[in-house]
Amino acid sequence: MIAAYLVLLIPFIGIVFFAIAGHKTDMGKFNIWLNAVCLLATVWLAVNVLNIGTILSPNKAFLIDPFNVYLIVLTAFVGFTTSIFSSPYMAHEKELGKLTDNRLKLYYSMYQGFMLAMYLVLTTNNMGIMWVAMEGATLATVLLVSLYRTPESIEAAWKYFILCGVGIAQALFGTILLYYAAVQIGDGENALLWSVLYENAAHLNPEILQIAFVFLLIGYGTKIGLVPLHNWLPDAHSEGPTPMSAVLSGLLLNDALYAVVRNKMLVDGASHNNMAGYLMMGFGLLSFLVGALFLHRQKDIKRLFSYSSIEHMGMMTFAFGIGGPMATFAALLHMTVHSLTKSAIFVTVGHASQVAGSQSMGKIRGLIKTQPKVGWGLLIGTIAIAGFPPFGVFTSEFLVLLATMHGYPWLAPLLLLGIGIAFAGLFRHIQPMVYGDKPEGQLPVKANLWPVIIHLGLVLWLGLAIPSFLAHWFSQATLLISGSTPL
Amino acid sequence: MNIEQTDFYTQAILSMAALVGLTSFLMLGQGRLLRLIFVFALQGLLLTLTTALAAYSLDNPHLYISAALTLVLKVLFVPWMLRREVLLMNMHRDVQALANKTTVMLGGASLMVFSYYVLHPIVQTTSPVMLNALAVSLSVVLLGMLLMISHRQAVAHVVGFMSIENGLFFAAIVATKGMPMVVELGVAFDVLVAAVLFGIFFLHIRTSIDSLDVDLLNRLNEVDK
Amino acid sequence: MNWLIAILQTTLFVVLAPLLAGWLKWCKCHLQNRKAPSLLQPYRDLIKLTKKQPVVSEQASWLFIKAPYIIFSATVLAATVVPLIAVDLPTSASADVIVMVGFFAFARFFLALAGLDVGTAFGGMGSSREMTISSLAEPAMLMAVFTLTMTASTTNLSGAIAHVLHEGLVLRPSFVFALFALILVAIAETGRVPVDNPATHLELTMIHEAMILEFSGRHLALIEWASQLKLMLYGVLIANIFFPWGIAESFGASALGYGLLAILGKLMLLAVFLAIAETLVAKMRLFRVQEYLSFAYLLGLLGMLSHIILEASR
């Protein structure tokens, strides 16, 4: 339990420290250290959970079970590697005169604030606090989206703020309905605790819960970036600093999906008509297809990959919606590999746009010749995210497809079509960017590509063979969510 | 169950629900920013009264804290901030013509019907009073969204945003007699931070496009650059 | 006996109406830091006007001369319907709220005709404006009143008041809406401040005063008196329907006396509120009156809806 408190305490120290005394230190380095300590704490926590099972804190405020502990480790890991990337990246942005010291202070402070909100979403046992932390994540990142203070970035931040704020308000309404259903059978103060709700799920009123779930799905779905609530996502990703895009894509979307899945477990416990599942499948498939189609029309590299995120989040939502052990297992695996791959891609994208001095894909040319590491990183990352065989994304997409074939065979062609469209959409843009002659006047930038190598290596490993402890871990989480193990 | 058979608290809550709903409609049809802000403060006041009433009749002291928070945040701080912004930008004189006011009002009315329709299954398990309270608060939420769609000024958007919060708060108070204290404090904190962020945003939007007209924020769209 | 009390009540209406107008003026003057005329000033005005010889235009027809009497008596008849100090009187039992609205419409019809009769520009303009406003105000008024009558299941005013009285203190959302709607309508119908200003004769803004510009002497006195009566009627309507406590249900002397005191107190309070409102609010443009009245209608409608949705049994 101490580990869990530590995970929450460290980012908090980070916020306060950067806000007060940030300028006196090398903020980038310190940020890396904070995230590293956090990562160690989460690993410790994960080992505990794997050994002794679900942990409930004495005051019942925090709950760590196999499902969220794996997301906690993933969050800490992506947070750590992104901080390695962000240190030289932000220093370069400062050299270019885009940022001042105060903005950097704000950036690092809010980076930690975002991490704190993410950890709180994952660890809390209280559905109300989960909402509060989710909103907190928006509030922490909104000023980061407008960090450069260009009219475009302010517009993006405003859209992000308003859309997510309004969207997440629906989730609060859903939470209130959930509480309303819960107080009818239990005591007031503890009625919103997930552990209590989950135990009593069968006694909750299914009618109210189903209505509540619609609101929760719309609310948190805005954060996931489900079509048609996705408008903020490409804007926020493209206008904010690139490390922010990496953590938004790799973490925020996952955690919003986590919140939806938690609520789905309650609804499934209360009613047996799989309404929640169908809703998620519908929204998921729509996002998947729309995301894939929109890939073709992009001109900004970060917008391109944010649409790719929408597409993949759609697929995960779809898979969780199918339910059942195999689809759930696939969705968990996809969550992991997508986070790793996507944050690696954003790291290379950040460097690539620094090389070209622009985010416009028309200006990024001949990367392999200019800076081979960045070029190859981008190429391999794209191959991985498009779902090519040796990488983990292939495994998870294949499993989703398999589960679809079992449950809803007539939806499988749609999935295949979507994967094909997305593949074409990605490669028609990527191919001219990485190959070709070196353009005039573009020089390599100082880059730290270790995060990319580690991430892509892990994804490759997951694609070749899932290590047994990880498989065990995933099956525990699957057991928790779907009620049976996949193997 | 007829209204005369219910207790005084329920009657009062129903009246409050009706008035809160009315203020939402008033905001929807209001083209002048200062009046909009005034009606918004009025809604906050109604909310404070409802909370205090609930605290008194349920003998639940933590609701008094909620009432005080609402009073400070929604009746005093946010309206004060918005009013200052409007006066600073000298926008209080221009009347924003709501070109399609009738349509918007009709849309609002149908949203109200819609929220009754959506929540109707609840009536089987609980009293009609709760259905009414929940339906009114859902329609306040939806009307807040409609307000944001139909008005162009950033200030009006903030009012819409905050009135959505009001609707949610009303639901929490009336239907569930207040959320657990931690949650309520958390929500209040979020609202406070959101209000401060809005203040910062006004500054940024003003310096970047020299206006608070949200229609001018149109640089980002699907296929550009 | 009952008829006697009914006649007494109507007489009280007629006699007290100028006093209410005087009290209203007194409050307003004090609020605006002016020296107030005596409370009895309206009576003195009426007496003075009655003593003067009326001047009638050569073009005026018989209608112009008869109109003041018709208007006054129609308004007095409307007053018989409204319970002032006691419920269950034979006059109010025989007629209901629709009849009252009908009497008002009748009086207004003749007032408008008389305004047109002489053929002056102002008279015609006033009549046209008055009819515009009343055509908008009447549905709003009926909507508000219907909300009440639906609750009481009767259109009889006396019955409705008795119903509210017996029910005890029940907070009804529909009543809140209906109250606001009725107040707005009352302000419009009696020509008080944001809609019309009884104290000025500015040609571009006046409505009621434009119509009666040609009247003089006792004709003018009757019309003035009728409009004071109308103000009081609306006041009593609001006070007794929404706050009926104190009204006499039996015809004993003490109950009646108590009822009289209660209604006097309520009217005084109401007048104070009206004076405050008139002091704070500026008169609005004529073109915005329709907005104002459609808002009143909306309130009435909301009252009706909230009665059906929120209060009806399922």
- Report how far residue C238's alpha carbon sits from residue C278's, in angstroms, rounded to the nearest whole number: 18
Domain count, chain B: 1
Kindly indicate the confidence band of residue C314, based on its pLDDT and cuts at 50, 70 and 90.
very low
Q: What is the pLDDT of residues A168-222, one digit of tens each?
A: 889 999 998 888 888 887 766 778 888 888 888 888 888 888 889 999 999 999 9
Domain-embedded: residue B224? no
A187 at the B interface (CB within 8 A)? Answer: no
For residue A151, which residues of chain B lie inside 8 Å, CB to CB? 208-209, 217, 219
Amino acid in position A451: P
ipTM, 2 dp: 0.90
DSSP states of C29-98: HHHTT-PPPPTTHHHHHHHHHHHSPPP--TT--HHHHHHHHHHHHHHHHHHHHS-SSBSS-HHHHH--HH
Of C169, C176, C314, the CB nearest to B18: C176
User: Would you call B8 and C169 a contact, using CB atoms and an 8 Å cutoff?
Assistant: yes
pLDDT of residue B96: 61
B102 at the C interface (CB within 8 A)? Answer: no
Report the percent of chain C where pLDDT is more than 90.
36
Cis peptide before C83 (omega within 30 of 0): no
CB C314 within 8 Å of CB B131 = no
| Residue A54 token pair | 């679900």
pLDDT of residue B225: 42
Helix (H, G, I), strand (E, B) or coil at A126: strand
CB B27 within 8 Å of CB B167 = no
Closest-CA residue of C relative to B5 is C170
User: Would you call A299 and B181 a contact, using CB atoms and an 8 Å cutoff?
Assistant: no
Mention every residue, 6+ apart, whose C-beta is less than 8 A from residue A316. A257, A284, A331, A334, A335, A338
Of A259, A300, A298, A245, the residue nearest A117 (C-alpha): A259
For residue B218, which residues of chain A lie inside 8 Å, CB to CB? 155
Domain-embedded: residue B155? yes
Q: What's the N-to-C CA distance of chain B in angstroms?
A: 62
| Residue A263 token pair | 């609520």
pLDDT over 90 at A436, yes or no:
no
With a CB-CB cutoff of 8 Å, which residues 53-112 of chain A face chain B? none
pLDDT of residue B207: 78
- Report how far residue A177's alpha carbon sits from residue A17's, in angstroms, rounded to the nearest whole number: 39
Which contiguous run of DSSP H or E holds residue A55?
strand A55-56
Q: What is the pLDDT of residues B120-150, one digit of tens each?
A: 777 766 677 777 888 888 999 999 999 888 8
User: Would you call C171 and B14 a contact, using CB atoms and an 8 Å cutoff?
Assistant: yes
Q: What is the pLDDT of residues A248-257, one digit of tens each?
A: 888 899 999 9
State the chains in contact with C (3 or more Cβ–Cβ pairs under 8 Å). Answer: B
User: Would you call A172 and B187 a contact, using CB atoms and an 8 Å cutoff?
Assistant: yes
Domain-embedded: residue B133? yes
Q: What is the pLDDT of residues B9-57, one digit of tens each?
A: 888 888 888 889 889 988 888 878 888 899 999 999 999 999 998 888 8
For residue B25, which residues of chain C lie inside 8 Å, CB to CB? 298, 302
Helix (H, G, I), strand (E, B) or coil at C172: coil
B210 backbone φψ class: left, alpha, beta (φ>0; ψ -120 to 50)? left
Of A20, A23, A28, A13, the residue nearest A446 (C-alpha): A28
| Candidates A62, A179, A197, A302, partner chain B, best to mutate (most B CBs within 10 A) | A179
Other beta carbons within 10 Å of A296: 15
CA angle, corner A112, sides to A106 and A116, nearest 5? 135
Three-class DSSP labels, chain B: CCHHHCCHHHHHHHHHHHHHHHHHHHHHCCCCHHHHHHHHHHHHHHHHHHHHHHHHHHCCHHHHHHHHHHHHHHHHHHHHHHHHHHHHCCCCCCCCCCCCHHHHHHHHHHHHHHHHHHHHHHHHCCCHHHHHHHHHHHHHHHHHHHHHHHCCEHHHHHHHHHHHHHHHHHHHHHHHCCCCHHHHHHHHHHHHHHHHHHHHHHHHHHHHHCCCEHHHCCCCCCCCC
Q: Is the dihedral of CA A236, A239, A243, A244 positive or negative?
A: negative
Segments forming the whole domain that contains residue B153: 3-216
Of C167, C174, C310, the CB nearest to B4: C167
pLDDT of residue C73: 94
User: Would you call C173 and B1 a contact, using CB atoms and an 8 Å cutoff?
Assistant: no
- Report how far residue C297's alpha carbon sits from residue A49's, in angstroms, rounded to the nearest whole number: 65
Q: Kindly state the average pLDDT of the residues A51-70.
A: 85
Which contiguous run of DSSP H or E holds residue A63?
strand A63-64
- Report how far residue A397's alpha carbon sits from residue A402's, in angstroms, rounded to the nearest whole number: 9
Domain-embedded: residue B222? no
Q: What is the pLDDT of residues B77-136, one digit of tens each?
A: 999 988 888 888 777 766 665 667 778 888 888 888 888 888 877 776 667 777 788 888
Domain-embedded: residue B97? yes
Helix (H, G, I), strand (E, B) or coil at C216: coil
Closest-CA residue of B relative to C169 is B8
Return the higher-pLDDT residue of C205 and B214. Answer: C205
C139 at the B interface (CB within 8 A)? Answer: no
Of B4, B15, B22, the CB nearest to C302: B22
- A82-to-A22, A339, A393, A455 alpha-carbon distances in Å: 19, 11, 20, 10
User: Would you call C312 and B2 a contact, using CB atoms and an 8 Å cutoff?
Assistant: yes
- Report how far residue A121's alpha carbon sits from residue A126's, in angstroms, rounded to the nearest whole number: 9
Q: What is the pLDDT of residues C115-142, one digit of tens each?
A: 898 888 888 888 999 999 999 998 999 8
Q: Kindly state the average pLDDT of the residues A342-371.
A: 87
Chains C and A are touching, with contact defined as 3 or more CB–CB pairs separated by less than 8 Å: no
Which contiguous run of DSSP H or E holds residue A64?
strand A63-64
Q: Which residues pair with A124 in a beta bridge?
A: A62
Domain-embedded: residue B115? yes
| Residue C279 token pair | 């002091």
Domain-embedded: residue B221? no
B109 at the A interface (CB within 8 A)? Answer: no
For residue B179, which residues of chain A lie inside 8 Å, CB to CB? 128, 176, 179, 192
Mention every residue, 6+ apart, whose C-beta is less than 8 A from residue A415. A285, A288, A315, A318, A400, A401, A404
A364 backbone φψ class: left, alpha, beta (φ>0; ψ -120 to 50)? beta
For residue B190, which residues of chain A lie inside 8 Å, CB to CB? 132, 135-136, 139
- Entry field: residues in chain B: 225
Closest-CA residue of A relative to B219 is A152
- Report how far residue A33's alpha carbon sits from residue A54's, in angstroms, rounded to the nearest whole number: 29
Q: What is the pLDDT of residues C167-222, one digit of tens each?
A: 877 778 888 889 999 999 999 988 888 888 877 777 777 888 888 888 988 999 99
pLDDT of residue A272: 80
pLDDT over 50 at C61, yes or no:
yes
- Report how far residue C234's alpha carbon sits from residue C251's, in angstroms, rounded to the nearest whole number: 24
For chain A, the average pLDDT equals 87
DSSP conformational letter for A384: H
- How many B/C residue pairs have CB atoms within 8 Å? 47
pLDDT over 80 at A38, yes or no:
yes
Burial bucket for residue A23 (CB in 10 Å: 0-12, 13-18, 19+): exposed
Report the percent of chain A where pLDDT is more than 90.
31
pLDDT over 70 at B224, yes or no:
no
User: Would you call A165 and B194 a contact, using CB atoms and an 8 Å cutoff?
Assistant: yes
Q: pTM value?
A: 0.85
User: Would you call A154 and B165 a contact, using CB atoms and an 8 Å cutoff?
Assistant: no
- Report how far residue C179's alpha carbon sits from residue C239's, in angstroms, rounded to the nearest whole number: 10
DSSP conformational letter for A300: B
Bridge-based pairing state of the strands A55-56 and A63-64:
antiparallel
Kindly indicate the confidence band of residue A299, based on its pLDDT and cuts at 50, 70 and 90.
confident
**In chain C, count of helices (H) and strands (E)?**
12, 0
- Report how far residue A401's alpha carbon sits from residue B79's, in angstroms, rounded to the nearest whole number: 53
- A234-to-A302, C1, C232, C247, C271 alpha-carbon distances in Å: 8, 84, 65, 69, 61
Domain-embedded: residue B170? yes
- B83-to-A166, B159, C150, C189 alpha-carbon distances in Å: 22, 11, 42, 35
Phi–psi pair at A351, nearest 5 degrees? -65, -40
Helix (H, G, I), strand (E, B) or coil at A485: coil
Q: Tell me how close the Cα of B19 comes to any Cα of chain C, in angstroms.
A: 8
- Report how far residue C88's alpha carbon sits from residue C94's, in angstroms, rounded to the nearest whole number: 10
Residue B93 CA from chain centroid, whole number: 24
pLDDT over 80 at B221, yes or no:
no
Q: Which residues pair with A193 in a beta bridge?
A: A126
DSSP conformational letter for C198: T
Q: Kindly state the average pLDDT of the residues C104-121.
A: 90
